[in-house]
Amino acid sequence: MIDQPTSSPRPGRNDPNEGPTPAHSPQYESGRRFGIRDGLFQAVTQGGGEQYLSAFALLFHATPFHLSILSAIPQLLGTWAQFVSVKVSHWFPSRASQVFWGIIGQSLSWIPILILPLLWPDLGPWLLIAGVAVYFTFTHFTSPAWNSLITDLLQSNERGMYFARRSRVMALTSFLTLCAGGALLSFFEHRQLLWVGFAILFLTAGLCRSASTLSLMKVTGLPQHELGDNPTGFVAFLRTGMSKNFRQFLLFSGLMHMAVLIAGPFFVIYVLQDLHLAYWEYGTWLAAGIIGQFVTLPAWGQFGDRFGNKALLAFTGLLVAVLPMLYLISAAWPFLITVNFFGGVVWAGLGLGLNNYVFDSVQPTDRAKAVAVSSIVNATGWAMGTLIGSWLISAVPATLQFGAFLDLQPVSNLPFIFFLSGVLRLIVSAALLPTFHEPRKVEQRAHHRLLWELPLLKPLRRLSLRRPTGISR
């Protein structure tokens, strides 16, 4: 293949994926800085709040069915808030105002998440589900305006690096928060006051999320939202605004979410109940994935900007299928830590690719609608996957024997479910990745050459190609 220039055209009238004004204008610097700071505060909320919701549910004797509902329903209900968000965007004087009130709603939602299950523990799992549904409703309500606002500040060939930088800040912050959260819960667990540890975590999560509003209030010179000459509604966008590439991408993304969530909600049961790991060990296991993201996000961002998000999805979509299969090999804690580290590496790239492909595939004026459509497709797959997974827990046997050649007896049937999730991920990737293509002009290389551009492999290749320049002393 012939190599293409790595840079994209400057923003202008002929570039459909760019905003209406130059993205490097100095007046936009405060907006880009807000995006990074918002990620930092959001990471505290995720690492110290969202990551421990399933563990909090187990405190009230939640069943696998409760955990599947906790994972699926809030996401599914919350995603519909994105449609509402786009429809009522004209009610707000600016997108920044819409983001502001969405963040306030997220912050206040942590109060019922914590208080209601503690007041009525018999209904704890269901009350927690209700509170989390409210939280994700506000989260999704904020998403279209936030994404539309930030992408208008960036050129198409710098989004990968910007979002990689933001995600890296979030990864480091989440790692520190996860470690602190696991240690805090272990401390109070030994004193029979585990609920106090969760109270500190969740209240801190709410306060830190609200801190984003203080950063947002300092932003000046944000671009005005332009509807374009022919603004379209959702119906028109669904009929004519989506290309065949984007439709096939949505099918891939939705089915991949379904395949992943067959296993996703039940790792907490496997780690805490089946393997009986301590909370600090559980927090360390989660943190290993965060470290994997942190060390590879810049490289994934450069890869996506240079070679395209489709190439990014092609590699990570296949690698992500292997990860859950590995849990059938061993239950040793160091092995689990290693697997989750590489899980973080792969998911860092897959997450960037899924998000940035949406931005590249539609007109700037349709980005908010595209984000909403993508989210509802993913949430539908999310809900289907969790419900299928909860059914498989009752249907899949705990042992697998095939004569004298095969005798697998893990601590529960969950590793078999994780393996099935991996098989389905592989089928989705093999069947659908060839059906859509890169929407941007990017550098073209054969896949066997791109392999050596992947994070972790590229540094090893450079090291292997070094030649001694003299005799070492």
Residue 383: name the closest of 286, 255, 247 by CA: 255
Residue 48 confidence (pLDDT)? 86
H/E stretch holding 382 reads: helix 367-395
d(CA 16, CA 32): 21
Element (H, E) at 408: strand 406-408
> Pairing state of beta strands 400-402 and 406-408?
antiparallel
CA 367, CA 143: separation in Å to the nearest integer?
11
Q: What was the pLDDT predicted at 190?
A: 85
CA separation for the pair 386, 421 (Å, rounded): 11
pLDDT, residue 334, reads: 92
pLDDT at residue 98, rounded to an integer: 82
Residue 439 has which token pair? 């929407």
User: 463 by DSSP, 3-state: which?
Assistant: helix
- What one-character DSSP code corresponds to residue 35? H
- Helix (H, G, I), strand (E, B), or coil: what is residue 400? strand
Digit-by-digit pLDDT tens for the chain (473 residues) are 333 333 333 333 334 444 444 445 555 666 777 778 888 888 888 888 888 898 899 888 888 888 888 877 777 777 778 778 877 777 877 777 888 888 899 999 999 999 999 899 889 899 999 999 999 888 888 887 787 777 777 776 676 677 778 877 887 888 888 888 888 988 888 888 888 999 999 999 999 888 888 777 776 656 555 544 445 565 666 666 678 888 899 999 999 999 999 998 888 889 888 898 888 888 888 888 888 888 888 888 888 888 888 989 999 999 999 999 999 998 899 999 999 999 999 998 898 899 888 888 877 777 777 877 888 888 889 888 988 998 998 888 887 777 666 667 888 889 999 999 999 999 999 999 999 988 888 787 766 677 767 776 765 555 555 544 444 33
Q: Which of 88, 163, 82 is nearest to 360 (CA)?
A: 163
pLDDT at 19: 44
Nearest to 251 by CA among 262, 242, 241: 242
Report the C-alpha dihedral over residues 132, 134, 135, 139, rounded to 10 degrees.
130
3-class state of residue 402 by DSSP: strand
**The residue to which tokens 């968000």 are assigned:** 85
3-state helix, strand, coil in the chain (%, to 5): 75, 0, 25
pTM summary value: 0.68
Both tokens of residue 442?
């990017």
What CATH code is assigned to 27-223+236-464? Answer: 1.20.1250.20
Collapsing DSSP to helix, strand or coil, 407 comes out as: strand
Task: Please give the Cα distance from 64 to 317 (Å, whole number).
Answer: 27
Phi, psi dihedral angles at 400 (to 5 degrees): -135, 115
Q: What are the backbone dihedrals phi and psi of residue 353, each rounded to the nearest 5 degrees, phi first? A: -65, -45
- Tokens standing for 7? 């840079």
Please name the residue that has the structure tokens 């936009």. 28
Amino acid at 94: S
Q: Is residue 401 classed as helix, strand or coil in its secondary structure? A: strand
Domain ranges of the chain: 27-223+236-464
